[in-house]
């Protein structure tokens, strides 16, 4: 087989394999190549191997892996803050959040979206990968109306849709984890492998939780989530000023001294609020705030007031 | 084998094989979801589908895919619930399903999977996974969402894309 023919066959294979990851298909492709008699068995296998894409970035994390990273992240957050138990409030937050998620560009994730109120007076909101979204009791208390809580949940949905949490995993850690996991489509680990992969998993969770709880996302992700929040809420039918109003309130009440909670993990509320205002101005006609929503919001959040 | 002597013929043969293997199918990439009557989330569910199920792709429309299930039910799924990529994975999944229990299939998922979570959990017994399991059980129904939207006079501009 000439070098040109080989390169051509490799390009076709790369395109075909980009659509599949199946061992049987790969084997089939190698068989077809080898059966021509123009390519040796060894060459055929090598061509197939080269055409396979190796996993290297956060974008290569599967939906199911994201779900498992999200579940453990959620367990760590729940253990740190504790769940605020109130079935009616929980039902309200879940129906509100899910309705907004349906207006996002990522309405379906492996395990779906789930919303919970944390038993903390600190003002904070967090999104674990895959769709576990948390708001603290302290944050809910600060929301004036349904438009505001909707905007906060939409912002967190924006982090999930943009896979921002996964992007906080250190690149080198991910590359090492993918090497450990290997190229097979599906497998069960033996005990030695399991210990190593679990250690890698622990490291991944460390990166994600540190970003969610301690360090905060990169500024550009916060601005992106604000922008997404605006579009999701307006698409759902909410007046767009919930987020701006919340940010203004936070700026006015900014405590003196070292930042904690929300103030520590988020960029300046004044800067965000200015950006959001400019984006709202560019929207044109938008829905208006309705008393019927503010009334049901007030009833739902009464226990935390 | 004269027809395969030239690289173009070889390439065509390879593509024909792939076209046959891939067909116009998509695979479900979320744990569970519904095929819906119309292309919107508040529409009635006509079939329940789960990760790995293959669906015949019939058409697409602004973020939604019209599909036919194995049992012949036609309806819509959101494009984020399915993937063209995993068709192959499903093929191997099906083989596994005939050889192993459903639990073993779940364990055999790629990379960070249930097996890894179980190991992490037993090393960190104080973490509130039970709370996470409880959270996962809360899933508002399409009817509840629709009632919520209607009562709040929301979703009148079409809501979900």
Classify A35 as helix, strand or coil.
helix
Q: Please give the pLDDT value at position B107.
A: 33
Of A98, A185, A292, which is closest to B145 when you measure between CB atoms? A98
Give chain A positions within 8 Å (CB) of B156. 237
Q: Report whether pLDDT(A197) > 90.
A: yes
Q: Report whether pLDDT(A35) > 70.
A: no
Q: For an interface test with B, which of A63, A150, A153, A184 has the most B Cβ atoms less than 10 Å from its Cβ? A: A63
Is B142 domain-assigned? yes
- Name the least confident of A66-75, A105-114, B76-85: B76-85
- Name the least confident of A140-144, A156-160, A183-187, B123-127: A183-187
Is A173 domain-assigned? no
What's the mean pLDDT in A4-18?
53
Domain interval for residue B128? 24-151
Of A35, A111, A195, which is closest to B31 when you measure between CB atoms? A111
Q: Which residue has the higher pLDDT, A84 or A257?
A: A84
Q: Report whether pLDDT(A114) > 60.
A: yes
Is A174 domain-assigned? no
Let me know whether A33 and A118 are in one domain.
no
Q: Please give the pLDDT value at position B99.
A: 36
What's the mean pLDDT in A77-104?
97
- Name the least confident of A80-84, A207-211, B13-17: B13-17
Q: Please give the pLDDT value at position A108.
A: 97
Q: For an interface test with A, which of B53, B110, B129 has the most A Cβ atoms less than 10 Å from its Cβ? A: B110
Q: Are A156 and A262 in contact (CB under 8 A)?
A: no
pLDDT tens-digit series, residues A66-89: 999 999 999 999 999 999 999 999
Let me know whether A25 and A95 are in one domain.
no
**Chain A residue closest in CA terms to B130:** A75
- pLDDT-derived band at A258 (thresholds 50, 70, 90) equals confident
Q: Please give the pLDDT value at position A19.
A: 47
Q: Report whether pLDDT(A2) > 70.
A: no
Token pair belonging to B153: 């006079």
Q: How far apart, in whole angstroms, are the C-alpha atoms of residue B50 and residue B69?
A: 11
Q: How far apart, in whole angstroms, are the C-alpha atoms of residue B92 and residue B108?
A: 11
Q: Which of A37, A53, A69 finishes a domain?
A: A53
What's the mean pLDDT in B43-66?
95
Let me know whether A20 and A142 are in one domain.
no
What's the mean pLDDT in B36-61?
95
Q: What are the start-end ranges of the H helices in chain A?
A: 3-18, 23-35, 41-51, 63-81, 87-101, 137-142, 146-161, 171-181, 191-209, 219-236, 242-252, 261-265, 269-281, 291-301
Q: Please give the pLDDT value at position B156.
A: 67
CB atoms within 10 A of CB A72: 26
Token pair belonging to B91: 């093929």
Q: For an interface test with A, which of B54, B86, B132, B151 has the most A Cβ atoms less than 10 Å from its Cβ? A: B132
* Nearest to A156, CA basis, from A42, A243, A269, A65: A243
What's the mean pLDDT in A178-183?
85
* Nearest to A194, CA basis, from B51, B90, B121, B89: B121
Q: Which of 59-88 (B) contact A at CB < 8 A?
A: 63, 78, 80-81, 84-88
Q: Report whether pLDDT(A261) > 90.
A: no
Let me know whether A40 and A89 are in one domain.
no
CB contact (8 A) between residue A197 and residue B126: no
Q: Which helix (H) or strand (E) holds B38?
A: none
Of B30, B84, B120, which is closest to A19 when you measure between CB atoms? B84
Q: Report whether pLDDT(A53) > 60.
A: no
Q: Please give the pLDDT value at position B110.
A: 74
Is A192 domain-assigned? no
Q: Please give the pLDDT value at position A284.
A: 85
Of A16, A105, A109, which is closest to B15 when you measure between CB atoms? A16
Is B125 domain-assigned? yes
Is A153 domain-assigned? yes
Q: Please give the pLDDT value at position A259.
A: 80
CB contact (8 A) between residue A68 and residue B126: no
Model confidence, pTM: 0.81
User: What DSSP state is assigned to residue A189?
Assistant: -
Is A190 domain-assigned? no
Is A127 domain-assigned? yes
Q: Please give the pLDDT value at position A92.
A: 98
Is B69 domain-assigned? yes
Of A65, A187, A205, which is closest to B108 when you measure between CB atoms? A187
Let me know whether A28 and A156 are in one domain.
no
Q: Which residue has the higher pLDDT, A183 or A203?
A: A203
Is B140 domain-assigned? yes
Q: How far apart, in whole angstroms, are the C-alpha atoms of residue A163 and residue A81?
A: 23
- pLDDT-derived band at A254 (thresholds 50, 70, 90) equals confident
Pairing of strands A132-136, A114-118: parallel
What's the mean pLDDT in A17-33?
52
Q: Are B96 and A23 in contact (CB under 8 A)?
A: no
Q: Which residue has the higher pLDDT, A15 or A136?
A: A136
Q: Please give the pLDDT value at position A10.
A: 54
Is B7 domain-assigned? no
Q: Please give the pLDDT value at position A260.
A: 78
pLDDT tens-digit series, residues A131-152: 999 999 999 999 999 999 999 9
Q: Please give the pLDDT value at position B10.
A: 72
Let me know whether A150 and A275 are in one domain.
yes
Q: For an interface test with A, which of B45, B111, B127 has the most A Cβ atoms less than 10 Å from its Cβ? A: B111
Let me know whether A221 and A285 are in one domain.
yes
Let me know whether A41 and A65 are in one domain.
no
**Chain A residue closest in CA terms to B2:** A36
- Name the least confident of A101-110, A186-195, B42-51, B85-94: B85-94
Domain interval for residue A103? 60-165+216-304
Query: How many Cα neighbours within 13 Å face the side chain of B37?
Result: 6
Let me know whether A70 and A113 are in one domain.
yes
- pLDDT-derived band at B21 (thresholds 50, 70, 90) equals low
How many domains does chain B fold into?
A: 1
Q: How far apart, in whole angstroms, are the C-alpha atoms of residue A228 and residue A154?
A: 7
Q: Please give the pLDDT value at position B24.
A: 87
Is B146 domain-assigned? yes
CA distance B16 to chain A (A): 10
Q: Please give the pLDDT value at position A50.
A: 42
Is B16 domain-assigned? no
Q: Please give the pLDDT value at position B17.
A: 59
Give chain B positions within 8 Å (CB) of A105. 63, 80, 161
A83-87 LR contacts (CB < 8 Å, sep 24+): A83/A116, A83/A117, A83/A118, A83/A119, A83/B128, A83/B131, A84/A116, A84/A117, A84/A118, A84/A119, A84/A137, A84/A304, A85/A119, A86/A117, A86/A303, A86/A304
CATH of the domain at B48: 2.30.30.40
The backbone torsions φ and ψ at residue A94, rounded to the nearest 5 degrees and listed phi first, read -70, -40
Q: Please give the pLDDT value at position A237.
A: 96
Q: Please give the pLDDT value at position A34.
A: 60
Q: Please give the pLDDT value at position A155.
A: 97
Q: Report whether pLDDT(B45) > 80.
A: yes
Is A260 domain-assigned? yes
Please give the mean pLDDT across all residues of chain B. Answer: 80
- pLDDT-derived band at A8 (thresholds 50, 70, 90) equals low
What's the mean pLDDT in B11-15?
70
- pLDDT-derived band at A229 (thresholds 50, 70, 90) equals very high
How many domains does chain A fold into?
A: 2
Please give the mean pLDDT across all residues of chain A. Answer: 86
What's the mean pLDDT in A48-77?
84
């Amino acid at each position: 087989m000439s070098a040109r023919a080989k390169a051509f066959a490799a390009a076709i294979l790369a395109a075909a394999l980009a659509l599949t990851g199946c061992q049987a298909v790969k084997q089939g492709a190698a068989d077809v190549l080898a059966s021509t008699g123009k390519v040796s068995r060894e060459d055929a296998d090598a061509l197939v191997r080269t055409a396979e894409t190796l996993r290297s970035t956060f974008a290569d994390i599967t939906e199911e892996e994201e779900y498992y990273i999200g579940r453990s992240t959620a367990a760590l957050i729940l253990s740190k803050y504790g769940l605020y138990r109130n079935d009616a409030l929980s039902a309200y937050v879940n129906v509100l959040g899910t309705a907004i998620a349906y207006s996002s560009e990522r309405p379906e994730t492996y395990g779906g979206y789930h919303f919970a109120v944390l038993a903390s007076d600190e003002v904070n909101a967090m999104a674990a990968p895959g769709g576990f979204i948390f708001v603290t009791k302290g944050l809910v208390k600060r929301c004036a109306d349904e438009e505001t809580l909707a905007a906060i949940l939409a912002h967190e949905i924006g982090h999930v849709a943009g896979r921002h949490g996964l992007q906080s995993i250190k690149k080198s850690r991910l590359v090492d984890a993918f090497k450990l996991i290997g190229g097979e489509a599906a497998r069960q680990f033996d005990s030695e492998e399991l210990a190593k992969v679990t250690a890698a998993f622990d490291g991944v969770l460390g990166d994600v939780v540190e970003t969610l709880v301690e360090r905060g996302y990169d500024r550009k992700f916060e601005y992106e989530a604000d922008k997404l929040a605006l579009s999701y809420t307006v698409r759902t039918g909410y007046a767009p000023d919930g987020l701006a109003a919340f940010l203004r309130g936070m700026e006015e009440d900014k405590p003196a001294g070292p930042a904690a909670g929300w103030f520590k993990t988020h960029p300046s509320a004044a800067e965000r609020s200015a950006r959001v205002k400019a984006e709202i101005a560019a929207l044109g006609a938008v829905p208006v705030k309705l008393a019927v929503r503010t009334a049901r919001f007030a009833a739902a959040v009464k226990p935390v007031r | 084998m004269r027809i395969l002597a030239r690289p173009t013929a070889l390439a065509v043969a390879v593509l024909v094989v792939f076209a046959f293997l891939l067909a116009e199918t998509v695979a479900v990439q979320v744990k569970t979801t519904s095929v819906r009557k119309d292309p919107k989330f508040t529409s009635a569910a006509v079939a329940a589908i789960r990760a790995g199920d293959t669906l015949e792709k019939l058409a697409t429309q602004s973020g939604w895919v019209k599909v036919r299930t194995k049992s012949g039910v036609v309806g819509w799924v959101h494009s984020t619930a399915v993937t063209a990529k995993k068709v192959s994975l499903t093929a191997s999944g099906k083989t596994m399903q005939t050889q192993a229990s459903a639990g073993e299939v779940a364990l055999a998922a790629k990379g960070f999977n249930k097996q890894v979570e179980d190991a992490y959990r037993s090393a960190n017994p104080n973490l509130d996974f039970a709370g996470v399991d409880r959270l996962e059980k809360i899933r508002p129904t399409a009817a509840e969402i629709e009632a919520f939207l209607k009562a709040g006079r929301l979703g009148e501009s079409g809501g979900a894309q």
